[in-house]
Amino acid sequence: MIFMTNRHETDLVNEDTLKKKRGRPKCFDEQQVLEKAMLLFWEHGYEATSISDLTHALEITAPSLYSAFGDKAGLFYKSIDYYLAHEACPIETIFLEAKTAKIAFELYLYDNVKRLVQPNKPAGCML
């Protein structure tokens, strides 16, 4: 906690409060940015995707990217989390809900094939 001298008790400020108030508020939808970043990394890979590529595709400035995600690696890790939550095969759910192991494997393979050949997504698996 950080205490402000010569102030009232109600002026108590913690570090989280200070971080939230710095800079301008976000002018972009984080979910949309993560989806676009995911697709860019998925199609070109981490090394071949530059900050310039990201800022152009995501329609945000470099300072906004750094402020929201820390750096390129931070955005990459968040885009992997987004991928796992929205694109990856829900293997745990399939195996928990299937009546037999054979059915689970069939459903898992079918779901993977279906996900890997989507026309609006890059080919293959992001990971």
What pTM value is reported for the model? 0.72
Residue 5 pLDDT level (bands cut at 50, 70, 90): very low
Mean of the pLDDT values across residues 11-24?
54
φ and ψ at 2, to 5 degrees? -115, 130
Domain spans of the chain, in order of start: 89-127
Sign (positive or negative) of CA dihedral 16, 22, 23, 25: positive
* Tens digits of residue pLDDT in 23-56: 555 678 899 999 999 999 999 999 999 999 999 9
Which of 21-30, 41-50, 90-99, 109-118 has the least mean pLDDT? 21-30
**38 burial level (CB within 10 Å; 0-12, 13-18, 19+):** buried
Task: Flag whether pLDDT at 119 surpasses 60.
Answer: yes
Residue 3: pLDDT band with limits 50, 70, 90: very low
Burial status of residue 43 (CB atoms within 10 A of its CB: 0-12, 13-18, 19 or more): middle
pLDDT greater at residue 13 or residue 27:
27
pLDDT for 9 beyond 70: no
